[in-house]
């Protein structure tokens, strides 16, 4: 179990935490021991649905090869229920969870739209505020231009 900050240290953080709350921002938290320089939101998780595993694997491999993504997880057999052209539809799909730099989301979206078989491809992205700092660093390293993508995730 991690050691708790001494009472004096916690009291010193209290005014900063209260000011953060008053400003509407998340409370201040001391930097982790890892000394991470991760900027919250600089990595995103993007989600794309595909009609089948073959299409999902082709797109996943291409975005990793193009360094638009560090990693893509394929989640098979999801059920999507949606309205399309005035009708309620229900389809079995494969969900792609794509980890990338937030700055690459527009290029990732453009690429997916150019190769995806759907008339309107689902591409949505959410910024990653927190996580395992070595992993988030790896995502940024692999997707950076000219980086060594042979590095395995930590």
3-state SS of the chain is CCCCCCHHHHHHHHHHHHHHHHCCCCCCCCCCCCCCCCCCCCEEEEEEEECCHHHHHHHHHHHHHCCCCCEEEEEEEEEEEEEECCEEEEEEEEEEEEEEEHHHHHHHHHHHHHHCCCCCCCEEEEEECCCCHHHHHHHHHHHCCCCCCCCCCC
pTM score, whole prediction: 0.73
**Residue of higher predicted confidence among 139 and 146:** 139
Quote the pLDDT of residue 18. 40
pLDDT tens-digit map of 72-128: 999 999 999 999 999 999 999 999 999 999 999 999 999 999 999 999 999 999 999
* Residue 37 confidence class, pLDDT cut points 50, 70, 90: confident
Cα–Cα distance, 61 to 72 (Å, whole number): 8
Cα–Cα distance, 95 to 111 (Å, whole number): 17
Quote the pLDDT of residue 24. 55
């Amino acid at each position: 179990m991690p050691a708790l900050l001494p009472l004096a240290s916690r009291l010193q953080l209290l005014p900063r935490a209260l000011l953060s709350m008053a400003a509407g921002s998340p409370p201040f938290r001391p930097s982790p021991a890892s000394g991470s320089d991760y900027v919250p939101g600089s990595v995103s998780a993007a989600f794309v649905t595909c009609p089948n595993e073959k299409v999902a694997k082709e797109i996943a491999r291409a975005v990793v090869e193009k360094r638009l993504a560090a990693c893509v997880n394929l989640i098979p057999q999801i059920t999507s229920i949606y309205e399309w052209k005035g009708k309620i539809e229900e389809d079995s799909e494969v969900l792609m969870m794509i980890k990338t730099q937030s700055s690459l989301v527009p290029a990732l979206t453009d690429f997916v739209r150019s190769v995806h078989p759907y008339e309107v491809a689902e591409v949505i992205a959410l910024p990653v505020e927190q996580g395992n700092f070595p992993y988030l660093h790896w995502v940024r390293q692999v997707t950076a231009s000219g980086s060594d993508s042979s590095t395995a995730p930590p």
